[in-house]
Amino acid sequence: ELRAKKAGMALSLVKDGICQTCRVTVPTYKARMVESRRGIVTCEGCGRILYGG
């Protein structure tokens, strides 16, 4: 369902604390969760699921 809403792209890379899809700064606590792979974290800007690189 998320993929359909997001033009086939449900995931977004976080690099240097920035969502690489919508360019919104990811809050520090969310970036740490992504880095430590604790749960599913979504971007506050585009709603995609964030992953680290």
If you ran DSSP here, which 8-state letter would residue 25 be given? B
Question: How many domains does the chain contain in total?
Answer: 1
Rounded average pLDDT per 10-residue block, the chain, 53 residues: 66 96 96 93 96 90
Contact call for residues 47 and 7 (beta carbons, < 8 A): no
Planar angle of CA 26, 1, 44, nearest 5 degrees: 15
C-alpha radius of gyration, the chain, whole number = 10
Q: Which domain holds residue 35?
A: 2-52
- Looking at the whole model, is its pTM more than 0.85? no
Please tell me the predicted confidence (pLDDT) of residue 9: 75
Those residues with Cβ within 8 angstroms of residue 17's Cβ, 6 or more apart along the chain or in another chain = 25, 26, 28, 31
